[in-house]
Structure 1
Amino acid sequence: MRIGDVVNFDLNKFKGGLSFGLNKFKGSLSLGSPLKVALANIISNMGHGRAEVQNADDNIYPGNVEPTLVFILQEEGIIVLNNEHGFSAENIRALCDVGNSTKKTHLGYIGKKGIGFKSVFRVTDTPEIHSGGFHIRFDITEGQIGFILPTVVPPCNVDLSKLLEEFALNNIVSMFSDLHPSLLLFLRRLQCIKFRNMLDDTLIVMKKEVVGNGIVKVYVGEEKMTWFVVSQKLQADVFRPDVRTTEISIAFTLWETENGDYIPHLDQQPVFAFLPLRTYGFKFILQGDFVLPSSREEVDGNSPWNQWLMSEFPGLFVGAERSFCDLPCFRGSPGKAVSAFMNFVPLQGDVHGFFSSLPRMIISKLRVSNCLILEGDENVWVPPCKVLRSWTEQDRALLPDSLLREHLGLGFLDKDIVLSDSLARALGVEDYGPKVLLQIISSLCCSKNAIKSMSLIWLSSWLNAIYVISSHSSGKTSLNSGAGLDLLVNLRKIPFIPLSDGKYSSVDEGTIWLHSDALSARAVDDYSQQAFPILSAKLRTVSPALLSAAAAAETSCFDTFSVENVTRMLYRIGVQRLSAHEIVKVHILPAISGDRDTWVEDLMTEYLSFVMFHLQSSCPSCCVERASIITELCSKVPILTNHGYKRPIEVPIHFSKDFGNTIDLNKLFSGMDVKWHEVDSIYLNHSVTKSVSGGMLEWRSFFPRLGHHRFCAYCSS
């Protein structure tokens, strides 16, 4: 054979031969259209080295040998050695035809198209075969008939003198550059590939070792590559009557650490049809008996068989997780195993081409499978919708497992499981945050007596937690964001706020007050309980025990806990800061503006007495708002007179003798059809009047500011 045109199959140790003359055999060789098919296929991009690997794996080997393929690169040429049984007459017939493969109807063969050998013409015009007693040569320099019409040659008559003249050496070396260790992964028979470069005196040996537990290692010299491989047999006769079963596999590439642990190797990996095709964006290897075009570059996207095979991979992927987590290196650390496995999950947009829909199919399968583990010692497997991630020990102390499970049906994700944000969203994993805290308090308030069964320390801790999470975060969980505002709206509807009377209520049910500090508490309580008992009963105030519990929790709980956080959150929800000034503005003024049917004498007396008493005080807020309050009172406040409740804007109202008026004008108008309106003495009898010196004088100073008349009101006729 000429240098550069030779692939020498030197397998003389296997003896045998044809039982008939080769010259007679020539007459039955196929030509014509199959030859054109061969010519088209030979132009493909499939590396010749891979083609020989495919052919070698389909060979038959003695039981006492390790199936091995050897490439030897010499200055004179390339020699390929394979310790198979040797060629048979049937094999020779197949080489002399296109599409007449001996492998088509037999299981366990990865070549089926009858063109694998034809790839040798990419590197030689005159390949020779010396195997099983056959010594033949194909020579395409004599015309196209040379593709399929061999001639007999003497045994091992090799002429290697002109290789470098016709085939550049660097092209020969690069021809074998695609012999990656993964080539051995899915081969059924071949266990070892050797590449001997006599030019630089190097030897590369790739050897496969099936370790067990799904682990397959391929050694390349002193280096090794590791994969976790799972496979599944499928009934295939529905799609291909000539094939009863087929097998699909997934291989996860792993790095083995010095201590024997495995970590994911997340580079893009090719899809295999026993040999690698091309990458599609997966971080793991897909292997299947895919229908391929002659180029073997990618799978046939129009093949129903391929579409069916693809539909079976999601189940295999999801099922692989448990076996992956059972690897010895993950014993005692199932969360780390799940975290490692989840790194391989493809996301929408990662994968392209024929397999672009597979990430969605895998995600859909994972969403309904028990693929994640709850925190705890029992290793409970649950679907993604049943876990919370991004939690802390403080969060778990606030929401014990039993409470979370009872009210939300959720649990905390194992702390060793780390999911990317995009994967967590795709799987439907909930983040611990304001939404969860809202759901738990809502559920407690909907369950009979559940909220009352929780301690005030727990409730104050809950308020602190939701404030810290919402206020210290940015983006969609911030209280100033749209979601944050929705959170506040929902919280205002939930009756979780403990009141002084022992009940629980919501802001939407009515104004709730909170003592802002000791001074405001004293300013109101000193008078509300004794001087204004009816008003005090109307005021719905936060139970002081809540802040006492918060103070206790502040000294014993968490670094981020503070009473200030609790009060700030209550204010954000809509609880009002309790002060005499705010009571006037928020409670009394709206109340006196209501219908007359709501005017209860004792209550209305307390309202006006409270306002009078407050406006005479040194309230800082009144310095700014006193005038506006007086203006509103003039138009709205009902004053009890000797003719019932009247507003100052409706009729002139005067002081009676009880208020120090020296003239009794009632006698003057006696018998006349004139209504003389005088302020009722009920205000003088109120306890607040008696509690201060000069109480009557305070009223005499207060009423004229509302439009009262000290003596007579002049009315033009």
Structure 2
Amino acid sequence: MAASHTNEKLRSAKLHMLRTKKFSIGKKEPNPLTLDLHHAVTSLSAELYQKDIHFLMELIQNAEDNEYKKGVELTLEFVLTKKDITGTGAPATLLVFNNEVGFSRKNIDSICSIGRSKKKGKRQQGFIGEKGIGFKSVFLVSSQPHIFSNRYWVRFNEEPNQDCGIGYVVPEWVSGKPHLSSICDVYGVNKILPTTTFILPLKPDKVEAVRAQLSEHHPEILLFLSKVKRLYVRGCDPEEADDVSTISIFSETEHMDLSDERANSRVVQLSVKEKKCDTELCKYYLWREAFPVKPGNQVSIRMDVEKWVITLAFPFGERLRRGMSSVGIFAFLPTAMVTNFPFVIQADFILASSRESILLDNVWNLGILDCVPSAFVNAFQSCVRELQLFPSVDQTFQFLPAQDSAIPVFNNLRESIKTSLRCLRIVPSEIFSGKSCLFITPEQAVRVLPKFRDLVLQMESEGAISSNLSSLDKRRKLGIVYNC
């Protein structure tokens, strides 16, 4: 206990030094730029995050980018309670639990800054965050977010600090509520508390919005993340004790290396359990292929990236989704863009500030989209020949983008895919006898109705047609005109 108390005092002292050095708190002469900084933070947060959903996306993104001890199963859990454990008068509190390694002094310094993300320039290392203001998105729903991590017990306030006139980024040491025992009561007294907890006393007008967003999170949200494999959402109040939602990677194959070293594939099964409903499962065939970044498509915020990595996800059957439409574009996490394609496109797209769409006039994104038809053609050929993966050939051909898209650039992709496939041997075809199978081009393919097929086989068995005749000779013999 003595060592723990000493560590806490050291962290408190470091926080005091940061407040003095960074925000001139305690100095005789205040920093003349403090008011400008406060307005800049306010304006930037308002511009980047215009909808409540963004704070959930940012917290999941942060969890994906966090560091974890080897062998630890990542835990990300959202718990909503009516308890006001912070003593701020909040009508409800959202707690976010994550068993990362925990905050360090550098992490605290980073979260007290704007646009100085430690993840910038590290896309090659797998980091997906980049704006440097991700945590600030919680101010959409909470005016006083708290962080308890590695004995750093701090809170932030959207109102300007009375000592320096800056809001959002000035840390304050928490010496009173919430107490650690209150946090444990919410998480579960018999469970080991994760290293990091975000405590968000909710604004009165945001409680229902947060509740709705927690219950409507996208069921495919984990599909393209490498670390977060399970996400829990639950209430801890008696009337909501059984309202637990879980999204998890139920199973995952090892990567299957293909002849082309740039590509690999795997099968992922997602599991979604919505409160008291039955568990839903859906398998996805994921094709992942890398393409070299073209010089003409390079941009300053991706200068460290040498390859575009595109992943296409093909669902086995009905996709897991919310509502009538299905998101078609992911940038690690789902956007709001609907393509009308029966597959999902994932890549390191540059997003609009709203995070709801990719920038369709951005040369980086256009370069990625130019590679999508090639990735699809390679993936489709693999699907056609991986007969053990799909129960029928028909299912594979359902992945073809047959419907028009409301977004012109995606219609261009559709036409490019159509043109590329037209001359490839992708259609499995059987000789009338059914004794052999070969692949032919779509233009060579003829679809024969089952009754007609049975008739031909009967005629062949009765000797009306020689079994030694070629397929073309049989067509002539029967005098049939085929529409290709």
Give the structure-2-normalised TM-score: 0.71
Once the two structures are superposed, what CA deviation does each residue of 1:89-134 show, in whole Å capped at 9, x if it has no partner? 3322322222211111112111111121111011100101111332
* 1:110 corresponding residue in structure 2: 128
Match of 2:76 among 69, 73, 87: 69
Cα shift readout 1:598-621 (whole Å, capped 9, x = no counterpart) = xxxxxxxxxxxxxxxxxxxxxxxx
Q: Which residue matches 2:196?
A: none
Distance in 2 between residues matched to 1:73 and 1:38, nearest whole Å: 24
Q: In the TM superposition, what whole-angstrom CA distance separates every residue of 1:478-521 from its partner, at most 9, and x where no partner exists?
A: xxxxxxxxxxxxxxxxxxxxxxxxxxxxxxxxxxxxxxxxxxxx
Deviation at 1:306, TM superposition (A): 0.5
2:191 maps to which residue?
none
- CA 1:320–1:327: 2 relative to 1, 3 Å: same
User: What is the SS of the residue equivalent to 1:385?
Assistant: coil
Please say if 1:345 is aligned against 2:400.
yes
Residue 141 of structure 1 aligns with which residue? 159
Match of 1:59 in 2: 66
CA distance in 2, matches of 1:362, 1:269: 20
Partners of 2:367 and 2:437 in 1: how far apart? 35
Q: What whole-Å deviation, never above 9, does each CA across 1:24-64 have from its counterpart, x for those lacking one?
A: 32333682645532231132464322221111111111112
Runs of at least 5 residues in structure 2 that lack an aligned partner in the other structure: 24-33, 84-92, 184-198, 257-265, 274-278, 319-323
1:206 to 2:200 alignment:
no
Q: 1:22 to 1:346 in 2, by over 3 A?
A: same
Alpha-carbon contact 2:94-2:201 (below 8 Å) kept: no
Corresponding residue of 1:80: 96
Aligned to 1:70, the other structure's residue is in SS state: strand
Letter matched to residue 127 of structure 1: P
Alpha carbons 1:271, 1:287 under 8 Å: kept = yes
> Which residue pairs with 1:528 in the alignment?
none
**C-alpha contact (below 8 Å) 2:158/2:168 kept by paired residues:** yes
* Cα separation, partners in 2 of 1:320 and 1:19, compared to 1, 3 Å: farther
**In the alignment, structure 1 residue 21 sits paired with structure 2 residue 14:** yes
Kindly report which structure 2 residues correspond to 1:56-455, keeping only aligned pairs within 5 A, or say none.
56-76=63-83, 77-106=93-122, 107-142=125-160, 145-154=166-175, 157=178, 166-167=204-205, 169-199=207-237, 200-201=240-241, 202-208=243-249, 209-212=251-254, 214-221=266-273, 222-236=279-293, 238=295, 239=298, 240-255=302-317, 268-278=326-336, 279-325=338-384, 329-330=388-389, 336-337=392-393, 339-347=394-402, 349-352=404-407, 354-376=409-431, 377-390=435-448, 392-393=452-453, 394=455, 403-404=470-471
Describe the shift of the 1:129–1:80 C-alpha distance in structure 2 as closer, same or farther (beyond 3 A): same
- Equivalenced residues, count: 392
Classify the secondary structure of the residue corresponding to 2:147.
Answer: strand
Bigger-Rg structure (1/2):
1
**In the aligned structure 1, how far is the partner of 2:379 from the partner of 2:177?**
50
Q: Higher relative CO (CA 8 A, sep ≥ 6), structure 1 or 2? A: 2
After TM superposition, list the pairs within 5 Å mapping 1:500-579 onto structure 2.
none
Structure 1's 399 and 314: CA in aligned 2 closer, same or farther, altered over 3 A? Answer: farther
Q: Which residue identity lines up with residue 352 of structure 1 in the other structure?
A: I
Q: Distance in 2 between matches of 1:372 and 1:179?
A: 39
1:101 alignment partner, SS class: coil
Give me the whole-angstrom Cα distance separating, in 1, the residues matched to 2:42 and 2:287: 40
Of 22, 41, 44 in structure 2, the residue corresponding to residue 37 of structure 1 is 44
- AA at the equivalent of 1:375: E
User: Using the alignment, how far apart are the partners of 1:93 and 1:365 within structure 2?
Assistant: 52
User: What CA distance in whole angstroms lies between the structure 2 residues aligned with 1:341 and 1:17?
Assistant: 61
Structure 1 SS opposite 2:404: coil
Once the 2 structures are TM-superposed, how far is the Cα of residue 343 of structure 1 from its aligned partner? 1.1
Tell me, what secondary structure is at the counterpart of 1:346? Answer: coil
Return the offset for 1:314: 1.2
Aligned partner letter, 2:135: F
Structure 2: distance between partners of 1:403 and 1:291: 54
With structure 1 as the length reference, what TM-score do the two structures score?
A: 0.49
Are 1:38 and 1:118, in contact at CA under 8 Å, matched by a contact in 2?
Answer: yes
Q: CA deviation at 1:319?
A: 1.5
1:364 Cα deviation after fit: 1.5
- Classify the secondary structure of the residue corresponding to 1:380: strand
Change (3 A) 1:226 1:38: same
1:669-680 equivalent positions in 2, closer than 5 A? none
SS in 1 for 2:220: helix
Q: Deviations over 1:350-393 (max 9, x none)?
A: 35254332111211221122221121444322221222224532
Offset at 1:182? 0.8
**Residue identity matched to 2:159:** T
Q: 1:83 to 1:126 in 2, by over 3 A?
A: same
% same residue: 26
Q: 1:378 & 1:138 partners in 2: Cα distance?
A: 71
Q: 1:246 to 1:155 in 2, by over 3 A?
A: farther
Unpaired segments ≥5 residues, structure 1: 1-11, 257-265, 412-436, 441-457, 470-476, 478-717
Say if 1:17 and 1:134, in contact at 8 Å, map to a contact too: no
Q: Whole-Å Cα distance in 2 between the matches of residues 323 and 55 of structure 1? A: 34
CA distance in 2, matches of 1:78, 1:189: 23
What is the alpha-carbon distance in structure 1 between the residues aligned to residue 428 and residue 116 of structure 2?
53
CA 1:164–1:117 in structure 2 vs 1: closer, same or farther (change >3 Å)?
Answer: closer
> Is the alpha carbon distance of 1:310 and 1:285 closer, same or farther for their aligned partners in structure 2, counting shifts above 3 Å?
same
Shift of 1:403: 4.1
